[in-house]
């Protein structure tokens, strides 16, 4: 596996494309280019999806609010991408019903919203999801009993999609790029370029674990570093760059509060936010505030959490907002535009060709965009890359399923694909001491690639035991992650190869057994094992740091202290 191999193996190679950044856009670019037959290398300074991609609202959607901004092209593009992702990654992208409750709204407002819903349906004319519908006040309260009934007029319901694990979506793009020949490196930082006059001939990289430094040659460098783009340009090209406007978005998890995804508008500033069922929680977010510090330091603070709690309490007054289990915080890397509020900055992407803007050949960058459109952004980027390289090769990513969605049987539609996957995996697990509940869990992470996990258990039945009784995950997943998914650190596994880091105790009960297995597989020293434990603790501390700044009453403090030890959240009846 490359992560354990010396960089020297690629020092003498010439790559068509070198991608900097292993988030969803960089991974998508690497996959698109590799599927076209280009020789690709990708370098990520941390772990894949460790930045913005793992801190999003985890939605695949057209963006209703962009209709109000008359950005019909962006809405149409994203609705088309939603359908593609439902088709090429049905195990990772699921239809999700959204509900927009209305309290004491004028007839004009309700009419405007109705027209918006009709437009949304029309712009997704080729969709597989149902059209919108209207719920009366009585039906709304029956379906969402914790909504504030005072002034409630009813609700509009429509469908978009959710990607519960954006981390796994990134990983499948990475793995498919590798399977098509790409050379993939995480924990490997790009520190400089190889430059001959005004021509960029490659990059200088250093492996963060062993300190090994090498030059890697490439015909074209693509900067897909997201929030780190401007600082990286300064490092590589030795000139200031202000192409990115960073805005911070945070989320927090609380006990479940709704049966469906709720679209709400903060009374303080009318900013849109969501309350979404996710992992057995209420997933609440997001904020949208300018940020100008180092992207490596971003976290949720008490003010962020207070804003969201204050915003949500009046809409769902009987839900439990005293318990906040943990937070996430990330940065949007938007195309810089001054003189408008954060929420008014377009989510469209832009490509920068430094040959045209600065007279420097061999390097380009992608700025902005959103997770929903990542595949289309990657296609657009590789189209330009091919043009600059003198190639004419069409993209295949809209039609080729991601690895976990590859079936030997023909299916029609998202639900039929999932049923076929489930049936095949149930059959493959016969004779193994793995429950159907665990198979469903494995399918939600790996799709049909769960067959590789089951194959490991067949060879070594002891790998089928649970990592810890609290979770459905099994030891074979650790073996698979280390051997096949570039998993080098314990937080890589907890936070980005599985969803253990997003359980109520953030995987604390699983930490010791995971350390034991990874210690054996990776042959860590005692010092390295301690470093690994500290890495995990640092990740958790960042997600909990808001507590010292939170406006909190003594009763709330007592509930907060008990929350981590409490039982798993219950699920509301629909």
pLDDT in tens, 228-280: 999 999 999 999 999 999 999 999 999 999 999 999 999 888 899 999 999 99
Task: Identify the CATH assignment for 2-52+167-243+347-389 out of 3.50.50.60, 3.30.365.10, 1.20.120.530, 3.90.420.10.
Answer: 3.50.50.60
What pLDDT does residue 552 have?
56
101 or 558: which leads in pLDDT: 101
3-state secondary structure 388-441: HHCCCCCCCCCCCCCHHHCCCCCCCCHHHHHHHHHHHHHHHCCCCCCCHHHHHH
pLDDT in tens, 408-417: 878 788 999 9
Task: Identify the CATH assignment for 93-161+245-339 out of 3.30.9.10, 3.90.1150.10, 3.40.50.10420, 3.10.310.10.
Answer: 3.30.9.10
Cβ 81 vs Cβ 59: under 8 Å: no
**DSSP H or E run through 237:** helix 229-237
Give pairs for 270-275: CB < 8 Å, separation 24+.
Answer: 271/311, 271/343, 272/64, 272/65, 272/343, 273/308, 273/311, 273/312, 274/57, 274/59, 275/312, 275/315, 275/316
Phi, psi angles (nearest 5°) of residue 361 = -90, 150
Residue 211 has pLDDT above 60, yes or no: yes
**How far is 328 from 250, CA to CA, in rounded Å?**
6
What pLDDT does residue 302 have?
96
pLDDT in tens, 113-171: 999 899 989 998 888 999 999 999 999 999 999 999 999 999 999 999 999 999 999 99
Residue 339 has pLDDT above 70, yes or no: no
Q: Using pLDDT thresholds of 50, 70 and 90, give the confidence band for residue 1.
A: very low
Compute the mean pLDDT over every residue in the chain, rounded to the nearest whole number.
92
**How far is 294 from 231, CA to CA, in rounded Å?**
9
In the predicted model, what is the mean pLDDT of residues 75-89? 94
**How far is 371 from 169, CA to CA, in rounded Å?**
10
What pLDDT does residue 527 have?
96
In the predicted model, what is the mean pLDDT of residues 23-49? 98
Please state the pTM of the whole predicted model: 0.94
Domain boundaries along the sequence of the chain: 2-52+167-243+347-389, 93-161+245-339, 407-547
Q: Using pLDDT thresholds of 50, 70 and 90, give the confidence band for residue 569.
A: very low
What pLDDT does residue 63 have?
79
Which overall architecture, per CATH, does domain 407-547 show? Orthogonal Bundle (1.10)
CA nearest neighbour of 165 among 536, 569, 500: 500
Residue 71 has pLDDT above 90, yes or no: no
**DSSP H or E run through 195:** strand 188-196
Determine which of 141-145, 346-350, 353-357 has the lowest per-residue pLDDT on average.
346-350
**How far is 545 from 533, CA to CA, in rounded Å?**
18
Nearest 5°: CA angle at 85, between 174 and 284? Answer: 90
What pLDDT does residue 342 have?
67
pLDDT in tens, 469-521: 999 999 999 999 999 999 999 999 999 999 999 999 999 999 999 999 999 99
Cβ 323 vs Cβ 547: under 8 Å: no
pLDDT in tens, 287-317: 999 999 999 999 999 999 999 999 999 999 9
**How far is 564 from 249, CA to CA, in rounded Å?**
24
What pLDDT does residue 564 have?
40
What pLDDT does residue 4 have?
45
In the predicted model, what is the mean pLDDT of residues 199-211? 94
Cβ 376 vs Cβ 81: under 8 Å: yes
24-35 helix and 166-179 helix, angle to the nearest 10 degrees? 30
DSSP letter for 187, please. Answer: S
Residue 344 has pLDDT above 80, yes or no: no
């Amino acid at each position: 596996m490359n992560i354990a191999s010396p960089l020297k193996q690629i020092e003498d190679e010439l790559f068509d494309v070198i991608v900097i950044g292993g988030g969803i856009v960089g991974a998508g670019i690497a996959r698109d280019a590799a599927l076209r037959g280009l020789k690709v290398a990708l370098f990520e300074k941390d772990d894949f999806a460790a930045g913005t991609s793992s801190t999003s609202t985890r939605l695949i959607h057209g963006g209703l609010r962009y209709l109000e901004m008359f950005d019909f092209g962006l809405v149409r593009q994203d609705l088309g991408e939603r359908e593609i992702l439902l088709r090429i990654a049905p195990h990772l992208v699921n239809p999700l019903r959204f509900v927009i409750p209305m309290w004491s709204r004028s007839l004009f407002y309700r009419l405007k919203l109705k027209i918006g819903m009709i437009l949304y349906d029309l712009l997704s004319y080729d969709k597989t999801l149902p059209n919108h519908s209207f719920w009366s006040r009585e039906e709304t309260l029956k379906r969402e009993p914790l909504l504030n009934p005072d002034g409630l007029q009813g609700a509009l319901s429509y469908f978009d999609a959710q990607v519960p694990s954006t981390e796994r979506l990134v990983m499948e793009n990475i793995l498919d790029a590798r399977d098509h020949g790409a050379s993939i490196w995480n924990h490997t930082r790009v520190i400089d370029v190889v430059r001959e006059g005004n021509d960029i001939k490659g990059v200088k990289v250093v492996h963060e674990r062993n300190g090994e430094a090498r030059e890697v040659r490439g015909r074209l460098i693509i900067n897909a570093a997201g929030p780190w783009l401007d600082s990286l340009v300064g490092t590589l090209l030795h000139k200031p760059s202000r192409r990115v406007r960073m805005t911070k978005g945070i989320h927090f998890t609380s006990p479940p509060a709704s049966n469906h995804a709720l679209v709400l508008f903060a009374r303080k500033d009318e900013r849109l936010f969501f309350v979404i069922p996710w992992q057995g929680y209420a997933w609440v977010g997001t904020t949208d505030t300018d940020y100008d510090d180092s992207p490596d330091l971003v976290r949720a603070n008490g003010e962020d959490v207070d804003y969201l709690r204050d915003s949500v309490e009046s809409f769902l007054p009987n839900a439990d907002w005293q318990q906040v289990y943990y937070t996430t915080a990330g940065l949007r890397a938007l195309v810089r535009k001054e003189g408008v509020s954060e929420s008014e900055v377009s989510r469209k992407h832009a490509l920068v060709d430094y040959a045209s803007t600065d007279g420097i050949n061999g390097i380009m960058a992608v700025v902005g965009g959103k997770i929903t459109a990542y595949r289309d952004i990657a296609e657009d980027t590789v189209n330009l890359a091919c043009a600059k390289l003198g190639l004419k090769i069409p993209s295949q990513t809209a039609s080729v399923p991601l690895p976990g969605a590859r079936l030997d049987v023909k299916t029609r539609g998202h639900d039929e694909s999932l049923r076929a996957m489930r049936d095949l995996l149930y059959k493959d697990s016969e004779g193994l001491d793995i429950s159907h509940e665990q198979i469903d869990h494995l399918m939600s992470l790996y799709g049909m690639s769960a067959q590789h996990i089951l194959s490991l258990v067949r060879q070594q039945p002891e790998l089928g035991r649970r990592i810890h009784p609290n979770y459905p995950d099994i030891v074979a997943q650790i073996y698979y992650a280390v051997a096949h998914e570039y998993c080098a650190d314990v937080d890589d596994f907890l936070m980005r190869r599985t969803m253990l880091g997003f359980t109520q105790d953030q995987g604390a009960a699983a930490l010791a057994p995971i350390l034991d297995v990874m210690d054996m597989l990776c042959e860590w020293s005692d010092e390295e094992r301690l470093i690994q434990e500290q890495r995990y603790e640092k990740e958790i501390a960042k997600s909990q740091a808001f507590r010292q700044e939170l406006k909190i009453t003594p009763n709330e403090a007592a509930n907060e202290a008990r929350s981590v030890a409490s039982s798993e959240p219950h699920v509301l009846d629909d």
